[in-house]
Structures are given as structure tokens and as C-alpha cells.
Amino acid sequence: MAQILFVMTSADRWTLTDGTEHPTGFWAEEFAAPYSAFVAAGHEVVVATPGGVVPIVDRSSLAPEANGGADAAAAVAAVLESAEALRNPVVLHDVDPADFAVVFYPGGHGPMQDLAVDPDSARVLATTLASGAPLGLLCHAPAAMLATETDGASPFAGYRMTAFSNAEEKLAGLADKAPWLLEDRLVALGARYEAGDPFAPHVVVDRNLYTGQNPASSTDLAAALVAAI
């Protein structure tokens, strides 16, 4: 059995360009599918958030239309309800990533608000990347990489990766209101960004960095990380 660290957002709002706050949090499937895969493989999941705040689920991610139907939505909600780790997060500042076999970041718009500028998350990311341990980030979670930039340089520059695309943000209806678009910022960071078809599974692996483009990539990304342990 290995310990798996899930670094999750503490944000429940995303501030848009007009100053309004869009309710958000973490995306349910992006926690539920990887959590279920790791637990089924016999591993233990530990959740860490900024300040040790219990992470808030984006309520829209629990809707049937976001999960392919009512039965699938109920199954995702049941995973969240059963996951004790979600209700007992540790403080991200206190985390030593060397204690974990895998570090994984679920998405949702929440990371765009807090993890994108969080120095403790930046430390965890940079340390894990340098260690060679598997590091997974899903959908909007690669926004956390932006906090690793120092003096115009990031350890993630030159890595192949994916994340929620500009096309997907436009189709989701938030691109025009977003203070910045994730794909654009990752390219500016020096990433070798790769987009798949909108809302279709797409996973990119470069060395020990594992990224998934969107919620539909949750299961495939989790499988790759489980296989890497």
C-alpha cells in the first residue's frame, strides 16, 4: 500500500474580469474517479488544502448532465460521501511530498483562484517534479504550475502537457469572462501544450509529469498513475 497525496483547492469562488464571483470549487468526477482507482488498488489517499480547509465541491459538477446521467451522478456523489479524506484534509504548508508515492491535483475552476498563486503548492510541485515521483494534474489543476515561476522561469518549462483548452472554456461559456485562459498561461510559462478534441479523453505523459485535459480524462489519467506506482 502506498500513500497518495491529493492537493486540492480551498476556493469556492472564482473572481471574473468584471469583479463578480463565479461559484466553483473542485470538480466532482475529477476527485471521484482517481480516488476510486487508487483505493481499489489498495492505496491510501491523503487530501491537503491551503489552510487545511475542507474542499468544496462545485455543485454544478454533481448534476446529471455533467455526469452522463442520473445514475452516474449518484455514483459520483456516493464516492464523495464515503471519502473520509475529503472531510479531514491536512494543511498544505505542513506537507512533505517525499512522504507520498504519487502527488495528484484534481481540477475545477477553484485552482485558478488559489493554487495558481500558492507558494506551498509551488513547493510541492517543484519538489515532486524534481524527485521523479509521478505527478498528476487534471483539467484546470495545471493552473497551480503558474505559481512555480520565479524570475521568469519555471521547472515545468519544456514539458509536454495538456489542460482545459481555450476551445473548451469557450464552449463552457466562461472564456469571455475569465481573467485569463489556462492554455494561454501555460504556453507563456514555456509548456509544450497539447490539446485533444474538446471534452474527449486526452492524457499526456512526459517523464514523471502526467496531465489530463478535462473531466473525461479522469479515468485514463488515474489508470496511468496507478500503473506508475
pLDDT digits (tens, 9 = 90+) for 152-174: 999 999 999 999 999 999 999 99
Residues 107-134 have pLDDT tens digits of 999 999 999 999 999 999 999 999 999 9
Quote the pLDDT of residue 136: 98
C-alpha dihedral, 33 to 90 to 134 to 150, nearest 10°: 120
State the Cα angle at 191 between 23 and 132, rounded to 5°: 95
Quote the pLDDT of residue 68: 95
Quote the pLDDT of residue 105: 99
Quote the pLDDT of residue 47: 98
Residues 10-36 have pLDDT tens digits of 999 999 999 999 999 999 999 999 999
Q: How far apart are CA 92 and CA 18, in angstroms?
A: 30
124 touches 92 (CB < 8 A)? yes
Q: Closest Cα to residue 166, out of 182, 154, 189, 179?
A: 182
Q: Are strands 160-161 and 192-193 parallel, antiparallel or unpaired?
A: parallel
Quote the pLDDT of residue 107: 98
Section 82-104 average pLDDT = 98
DSSP per position, the chain: --EEEEE----SEEE-TTS-EEE--B-HHHHHHHHHHHHHTT-EEEEEEGGGPPPPB-GGGGSGGGTTSHHHHHHHHHHHHH-HHHHSPEEGGG--GGG-SEEEE--SSHHHHTGGG-HHHHHHHHHHHHHT--EEEETTGGGGGGGG-BTTB-TTTT-EE--S-HHHHHHHT-TTT-SS-HHHHHHHHT-EE---STTS--EEEETTEEEE-SGGGHHHHHHHHHHH-
State the Cα angle at 145 between 200 and 41, rounded to 5°: 60
Mean pLDDT of the chain: 98
Q: How far apart are CA 202 and CA 213, in angstroms?
A: 6
Section 191-209 average pLDDT = 98
CA 226 vs CA 27, 34, 178, 195: distances in Å: 20, 9, 33, 23
Question: Residue 179: pLDDT band by 50, 70, 90 thresholds?
Answer: very high
Longest dimension (CA), the chain: 49
Question: Residue 189: pLDDT band by 50, 70, 90 thresholds?
Answer: very high
Section 43-65 average pLDDT = 98
Question: Residue 106: pLDDT band by 50, 70, 90 thresholds?
Answer: very high
Question: Residue 195: pLDDT band by 50, 70, 90 thresholds?
Answer: very high
